Amino acid sequence: MARIPSCHATTKKEKKNNNGKHLTIALAGNANVGKSVIFNQLTGSHQTIGNWPGKTVESAKGILHFDGYEATIVDLPGIYSLSTFSLEELVTRDYIAREKPDVIIDVIGAPVLERNLFFTLQLMEMDVPLVVCLNQMDIAKGKGLIIDVGRLEGWLGVPVIPTIASRGKGVRELIEKAIEVARQKQESTDSKDKSSNNGEAGIKEKRGPDHHWHEAKFGDVMEAHSAGNRGHHHRHRHGTRFGDRVEERVEELTRLIDSQQLNLDYPSRWVAIKLLEGDADVKQLVSSKSDNLIRASETLAKKMEEAYQEPGFAVLASERYLLANQIARDVQRQETAKPTLMDKLDRLATQRVFGYIVTFAVIGGLLLWTLTVGDFLSGLLSHAFSFFHPVDPQVSGATWSIVWNGMFGGLVAGVTLVIPFVVPFYLMLAIMEDSGILSRVAFMMDSAMHQMGLHGKAIIPLILGYGCNVPAIYTTRIMGTRRERLLASFAITFAPCSARTIVILGLVAAFVGMGWALALYAVDLLIMFVAVKVALRVIPGEVPGLIMEMHSFRVPSSSVVAKQTWSRTKSLIYLVFPMYMVGTTIVQGLYAFGALGPINNSLSFLTVGWLGLPAIAGILLIFGAVRKELILLTLVAIYGTNLALVLTPAQLIVLALVGMLYLPCIATIGILVKEFSWKAAVAISAANLASAILIGGIAARVLALVS
C-alpha cells in the first residue's frame, strides 16, 4: 500500500520475525462506498482474484505486512443486508460465521450514513469484532454534511475511523485500529475469563485517550465530542437493542437457544433474530437439531406479528431502519452547501429528456472509442506479427507446420483481435464505473430493458458484449438472480463482438457497401430483441425493478481504473487464449487431413440448398465456430483477397449474417459452461444456430428477389 510506509516492502528477515503473527481482516459494506479502493490501498499488487468455493461470486484476497503482522485482507461482496436473497449475501454471511475473521472493517459511505447503518446494525447482531470505516468524508463535506464521529462511536460501541480512501487519508489509522481490535479478540480467546471484562469496556478504555485525533486530521469535516455523558441506552453487549416489545422476544428466544446448547456456527442472539424473521436457511439449520426450538420461535414470531400487524422480517427491518434513522439524526447535521459541478452533472444525467441524450452519447462514445482505438491497435499488432510470420490459416503441408500455424494463429488472434478491442473497452468501462456515469446509464435504460424483458443492469454487460462476449457474460454476475443472468447472457451471444465486426466489415462493408453493413447491425438488434422475448416464455418469471446504488459523481481513481482493467483483461487472457490456440490447431489439422470434407458435404443441403452459399461454406462455418474472424481469414487463405470474384453480393451478405448469428465462439461456449452448465450452453448455442439458419434462409430469398 503506497500510502502506508513499510506495508509491502517487507524483507525476508522481517517476515521471519513475524513470529506467526497472522491476522485475517475482512472488508464488508454496501456497494460503491469505496471498499475496493481501501482493499487496493492495503494490498497493492498482492492480490488474488477468484470465485468463492462452489459459487459464481467473485472473491478477492490480498496480503498486507504491517508492524510485524502478516494480514490476509478479504474483500467481501458489496451487499445491503445479511439475508439470503442473493448469492453475495449468502457468501458474506457464511464467511463471517464460519471462517470467523479476526476483525471486520465495515466500510460506510459518509454521504449516505443512514442507509449504510442498516447493514452495520446487522453486523453488530452477529457479535463480531468490528471497526467502522467512515469513508468518503470529502464528499460528505461537499454536500454540507457534518458528522460527529465521537457520538457515532458512542451509539455503536465500536471504533469509528474517518477516511478519505481515494487520497489515502485515515487508512493507516484504520488498519492500526483494526489490528488493535483483532489483538483484543485473540487475547480474549486465550482467556475466556477475561473476555466478558475486556469486551465493550475494553473498547471504551482504548477509545477515550486518543479520541480527539480525528479532530486534528479532519477538523473541517466533522465535530468530535465527548461521548462520556450519553450512557448506554440502546446498547447491548452483542450490539444495539431493538424496541422493548421486540427486544423482549429476542432475548427470550436467545436464552432458550443458549439453554439448548446446539453448537451452532452462528451467535445465539443472531439466530434468534433470524428465526423471528422467518429466515429459511437458519430455520433449516436449527430444525435439524431441535424441533422444539422451531416451534417456540414460531410461537414468539406469531405473537410479534400479531402485535405489529406485519410479517416478522418487516418488523425487524423496521426496527433497524428506525434505529439507523435515530442514530443518523443524532450524529450528523446538514449545513447549507452550494450545488457543485458534480451535483449539476448528476441532475443532468438523470433528467427525463437530457438524461437520455447523455445516455446515448455515453454508449455511442464508448463504442466509437473502442472501435477507433481498437482498430488502430489491431492494425499495429497485426502488422508486427505478420512481419515475423503469416497469420492466415494453413490448411495443407507438414503436420508440424499446421500445428505451429494453428497455435501461433490462435495467439495472434488473441493479441490482435481481442486485446486491442477489449483493453480500450475495459479501460473506458472502468472510468465510467468509478466516475458514476455507468450507474446513471443503467438507470435511464431500465424502462427500455424492461420492454425487452431484461433488468436495467443488463445494459452494462450488453455494452461490454460489443467488445467481447466472454467478459460480458462474466459481468452478468452483477445481476440479482440466475434467471436474470441467463437471459442477459443469451442476449449477449447475439451482440456483434469485435470478431463479428471484422467479418461484417471484411465481407460486406468492403465488397457490398457500408449501408448494408449497418443494416446487418440493425437486423442483429431486432433479432436479439425477438430472441429474448421468446426466451422469456421458456424461462418465465418476473423482471424485478431496478434497485442499485448510485454513488456521487467523482473523478475516477487512476489506481482503481488500472487494477480493474488489468483484472478483467487477465481473466479474459487465461480463458480465451488457450481455447483459441488449441481450437484453431485442431480445426486446421482436421481440415488438412480431410476429416472436415464429409462434414462439409453433409451440411451442403443447408449451406447450398437453403442458404444459397458456395459448397465451401460448411468448412468456413466450422472454422468460425472456433473464432468468428476465421470465416473471413479462411476464405482469404483459400481464394485470395478479392472475394468479389468468388461470392456474389447476396452471398457475402448472407454469409456475414449467418456467421454473425449461428454459434457463439468456442471461448463464449466455455464461459457459458463455467458460469451456468453444459445444458445451458448447449441450449443457447442451439437457439443461436436455429436463428441463423432461419434468418439466413429468409435473407437469401429476399435478396434474390431484390437483386
DSSP per-residue string spanning 582-621: HHHHHHHHHHHTTTHHHHHHHTHIIIIIIT---TTHHHHH
Quick one: angle between helices 113-125 and 312-331, nearest 10? Answer: 120
Confidence of residue 331 (pLDDT cuts 50, 70, 90): very high
β partners of residue 109: 135
d(C-alpha 319, C-alpha 248), whole Å:
13
For residue 601, what is its C-alpha cell? 458435404
What's the pLDDT tens digit per position in 634-682? 777 667 667 788 889 999 999 999 999 988 888 899 889 988 999 999 9
User: Nearest-CA neighbor of 179 among 54, 39, 69?
Assistant: 69
d(C-alpha 161, C-alpha 111), whole Å:
15
What's the pLDDT tens digit per position in 52-63? 444 446 668 888
β partners of residue 223: 148
d(C-alpha 319, C-alpha 313), whole Å:
10
What's the pLDDT tens digit per position in 89-141? 888 888 888 888 999 999 999 999 999 999 999 999 888 899 999 999 988 88
**Average pLDDT, integer, range 551-576:** 76
247, 598, 606, 662 from 601: Cα distances, Å:
76, 5, 10, 18
Backbone angles phi, psi at 619, to 5 degrees: -60, -45
Between 418 and 420, residue with greater pLDDT: 420
**Strand-strand pairing, 332-334 and 47-51:** unpaired
β partners of residue 332: 147
Q: Residue 208: what pLDDT?
A: 36
Q: Residue 201: what pLDDT?
A: 40
CA atoms within a 13 Å half-sphere pointing along the CA-CB vector of 507? 31
Q: How many helices (H) and strands (E) does the chain have?
A: 34, 12
d(C-alpha 325, C-alpha 328), whole Å:
5
**Average pLDDT, integer, range 483-502:** 87
User: Nearest-CA neighbor of 564 among 40, 8, 7, 28?
Assistant: 40
| Best CATH choice for the domain 1-212 from the list 3.40.50.300, 3.90.1150.10, 3.30.499.10, 3.20.20.80 | 3.40.50.300
Query: SS3 of 469, please?
Result: helix
How far does the chain reach from its first CA to its final CA, in angstroms? 65
- Structural contact between residues 19 and 59, judged by C-beta atoms closer than 8 angstroms: no
d(C-alpha 634, C-alpha 624), whole Å:
9
d(C-alpha 610, C-alpha 608), whole Å:
6
Query: SS3 of 32, please?
Result: coil
Confidence of residue 547 (pLDDT cuts 50, 70, 90): low
Confidence of residue 22 (pLDDT cuts 50, 70, 90): confident
Query: SS3 of 152, please?
Result: helix
Between 129 and 409, residue with greater pLDDT: 129
Q: Which residue has the cell 452459399?
A: 613
Cα 368 to the center of its chain, rounded Å:
24
Domain with CATH 1.10.287.1770 in the chain: 243-335
Q: Which residue has the cell 459541478?
A: 341
Q: Residue 189: what pLDDT?
A: 66
What's the pLDDT tens digit per position in 137-190? 988 888 889 999 999 999 999 999 999 988 889 999 999 999 999 888 777 766
d(C-alpha 191, C-alpha 281), whole Å:
33
Confidence of residue 424 (pLDDT cuts 50, 70, 90): confident
- Give the least confident one: 313-317, 457-461, 692-696: 457-461
Domain with CATH 3.40.50.300 in the chain: 1-212
Angle among Cα 127, 130, 135 to the nearest 5 degrees reads 140
**Strand-strand pairing, 130-135 and 103-109:** parallel
Quick one: angle between helices 617-626 and 630-639, nearest 10? Answer: 140
- Structural contact between residues 466 and 497, judged by C-beta atoms closer than 8 angstroms: yes
pTM of the model: 0.68
Whether residue 19 has pLDDT greater than 80: no
Whether residue 581 has pLDDT greater than 90: no
List the strands of the sheet with 47-51, edge to edge.
47-51, 58-66, 69-75, 22-29, 103-109, 130-135, 160-162
Q: Residue 16: what pLDDT?
A: 38
What architecture does CATH give domain 243-335?
Answer: Orthogonal Bundle (1.10)
Buried b (16+ CB within 10 A) or exposed e, 464-475: bbbbbbbbbbbb
Q: What is the DSSP string of 221-233?
A: TEE----TTSTTT
Whether residue 544 has pLDDT greater than 70: no
